[in-house]
Structure formats: C-alpha cells, structure tokens
Amino acid sequence: MPLVSTREMFNKAYAGGYAVGAFNVNNMEILQGIVDAASAQKAPLILQVSAGARKYARHEYLMKLAEAAVETSTIPIALHLDHGEDFAVCKSCIDGGFKSVMIDGSRFAFAENVRVTKEVVAYAHERGVSVEAEIGKLAGVEDDVKVAARDALYTDPDEAVEFVQQTGCDSLAIAIGTSHGAYKFKGEPKLDFERLEIIGKRLPGFPIVLHGASSVPQDLVALCNKYGGTIPGARGVPEEMLRKAAGMAVCKINIDTDLRLALTATIRQQFTEHPEEFDPRKYLGPAREAIKKVVTHKLVNVLGCAGKA
Ligand code: G3H
Ligand code: 13P
Ligand code: ZN
C-alpha cells in the first residue's frame, strides 16, 4: 500500500471512537520503533515530521525512510508535515510526496489564519493531500490558565465552525489545555472537555486534533533522572484524559515528547551501564526497542487504534 492521506483513517476513527497516533520522526531508529509497534498491533499510523526534523534529517532521507516503512509493512501509513508555518513549506512537502500537511496559522489573527489556510487547502486538495489547520493557542505551563484567560487562549467553538466553513480544511487542531513539551501542568491536570464536546457537536463528523498530548510517563522521567538527566517535575496529560478525548471528536493525537524521553532515558542508561561500549548499535538498538514499547502501550491502552488497520 502506498503512503495514504489521513481522510479514510479519520472517517474510521471518528466512527469507531478511537484516535490515530501521530508520532514525530527525526531519525531511522525512531521511525523503525514506531512502525514496528504499529505493524505488530495492526494500527493505522501517522508519521509526522516538523520543519526542524526536515532540516535535521533532510527531506529526501525522510521520504525514503517513510517509503521503506510502507514497503515493509501492510498497515496504512500517512506522512504528515507537523506545524507547517507558511504556504512555502507546505507546498514543498506536497511537491515532495507528503500526503498530509498542517498549516499552523494559529499565531495569526483569525482573518490571516483563514487566508493562509485557504491557500494551502486549494493547493493540497488539487493534489489529493489533506490539510490540518489550527485555531486557539496551546497554553504553556506558565499560563496558570484562569477562566477569563482560558476564553482568550482556548479555541472558541463559534470561530472553529466559521474557520472550517471558510477554509475547507480537513481536520482542526484545537486548544483545550494541552501544551507542547514535558512540563504541561503546574497544578492538577485539566482539559476543557466541555469545550471539546461543544466543538464536536457543532462540527459533527469532523476530525479534531490534539497537539501536546504526551503523557510524560513517570517511569521514563525517573529513568532519565536516575542516569544523570535533570528533568525534575516533568508532567504530561493523564492517559485516561487522552482515552476520553479519543472517544469524542479527537481523531489524531500528537506524541513527540514521550518518544524523546524513551530514547534519551535508554541511551543514558546504556552509557552508564556499559561505559566500555562505543558501538552506536549497542545503545541505539535498545533505544529503538524503548520507542517500540512506548508506542505499543499508546496504541493498545490509550488511543484504542490497535487492530483497526
Ligand atoms: O510540536 C512540536 C513537535 O514536538 C516537534 O518539535 O519542532 O522540535 O521538531 P520540533
Ligand atoms: P508533545 O510535546 O506533547 O509530545 O506534543 C507533540 C506535538 O504536538 C507535535 O505536534
Ligand atoms: Zn504540535
């Protein structure tokens, strides 16, 4: 099966009450760990690449890695641009073989976000590529988000409806309290499920995307810190909240930080326990296994997409 767009995956996910995992890829071991897990679990899969990943690993290499994943597995795999900041980067990915792109105009005012998203949608749809867009701001940990601030930052349901109607985007990333990175909550973790429910009702059947959805597993944080890491107090989105969101309108859940933690904790452990080793395969191999383990857990216990390929 060639690389696919996310359209069919999302239709099935919406109807089935589960979410597809979108995992960030930066190198071969990360990609292999993800694909091995999804293949073993027969789960549909979104491999996503940020502009930074594309700069680091280079477009052509990432394309070939994704093509190798497709050739060696039987699950549907989409290759998606994560947080495309302008038309140029989206065009470049579409021209270069991606089947799904995100145009992230969330930093702009509504009208400019609509304008740039429409531009990408027109180009992408002519070429069979799906488009994710975003409105609302993902609150950082520093925002001890009070009710008034929440209304300013989180996605406004009326705007979401208008935005989707005006742009024709295929999925929409919304802000309901998640944030990127390993420090998501100072106090009690909280997501605005009421807002998600309203948006879901106002946009029936329409796929919603949750960014900043790593759960920051505490065993990985502890392992990292045990072997010299300094990431005290890292906290993510509780898994039961992600599971709840996956049963609602959320069809795509983005995970990067958990993969970084798994990889780094494992490499730290290997370096400490085997200081005599200098063969990269000796630490990258276990790191790849750690990625596979964390992704398997997500697919089976959190996203609900195991067996849905
Ligand atoms: O949402 C951001 C992703 O974690 C990608 O991060 O831009 O450092 O590759 P990056
Ligand atoms: P995390 O930092 O929570 O893994 O979020 C990743 C993400 O949203 C990528 O777009
Ligand atoms: Zn994101």
Q: Is any ligand 2 atom within 6 A of the Cβ of residue 212?
A: yes
pLDDT of residue 130: 98
Pick the residue whose CA is nearest to atom 3 on ligand 2: 212
Cβ atoms 30, 45 nearer than 8 A: no
Distance 27 CA to ligand 2 centre (A): 17
Q: Report how far apart, in Å, the C-alpha atoms of 234 and of each of 22, 135, 242, 282 are.
A: 21, 26, 17, 28
279 part of the active site: no
pLDDT of residue 261: 98
How do strand 45-50 and strand 100-103 relate by DSSP bridges?
unpaired
How do strand 45-50 and strand 130-135 relate by DSSP bridges?
unpaired
Q: Which ligand is nearest to the CA of 80?
A: 2
Q: Is any ligand 2 atom within 6 A of the Cβ of residue 215?
A: no
> How far apart, in whole angstroms, are the C-alpha atoms of residue 241 and residue 190?
9
Rg of the chain in Å (alpha carbons): 19
Nearest of 212, 210, 213, 216 to residue 262 by alpha carbon: 216
What average pLDDT does the segment 22-33 reach?
A: 98
Distance 236 CA to ligand 2 centre (A): 10
Distance 280 CA to ligand 2 centre (A): 27
pLDDT in tens, 265-307: 999 999 999 999 999 999 999 999 999 999 999 999 999 999 9
The DSSP string of 177-246 is S--SSSB--SSS----HHHHHHHHHHSTT--EEE-S-----HHHHHHHHHTT---TT-B---HHHHHHHH
Q: Is any ligand 1 atom within 6 A of the Cβ of residue 181?
A: no
Spell out the domain ranges in the chain.
Answer: 7-303
Q: Which ligand is nearest to the CA of 237?
A: 2
Residue tagged 């994943």 (tokens): 69
What average pLDDT does the segment 126-134 reach?
A: 98
Ligand 2 atom with the smallest distance to the CA of 102 is: 10
Ligand 2 atom with the smallest distance to the CA of 182 is: 2
This prediction has a pTM of 0.97
pLDDT of residue 145: 60
Percent of the chain with pLDDT over 70: 97
Q: Is any ligand 2 atom within 6 A of the Cβ of residue 254?
A: yes
Q: Which ligand is nearest to the CA of 216?
A: 2
Distance 274 CA to ligand 1 centre (A): 30
**7-303 homologous superfamily:** Aldolase class I (3.20.20.70)
Rounded to an integer, what is the distance from CA 91 to the centroid of its chain? 20
Most ligand 1 atoms within 8 A of CB, residue of 56, 256, 260 to mutate: 256
Q: Is any ligand 2 atom within 6 A of the Cβ of residue 181?
A: yes
Q: Report how far apart, in Å, the C-alpha atoms of 123 and of each of 81, 88, 110 are.
A: 15, 11, 20
pLDDT in tens, 137-186: 987 654 556 666 777 899 999 999 999 999 999 999 999 999 999 999 98
pLDDT in tens, 204-253: 999 999 999 999 999 999 999 999 999 999 999 999 999 999 999 999 99
pLDDT of residue 173: 98
Q: Report how far apart, in Å, the C-alpha atoms of 212 and of each of 22, 129, 165, 248, 305 are.
A: 11, 24, 25, 17, 19
Q: Is any ligand 2 atom within 6 A of the Cβ of residue 76?
A: no
> How far apart, in whole angstroms, are the C-alpha atoms of residue 266 and residue 152?
40
Q: Is any ligand 1 atom within 6 A of the Cβ of residue 52?
A: yes
What does the mean pLDDT of the chain come to?
Answer: 96
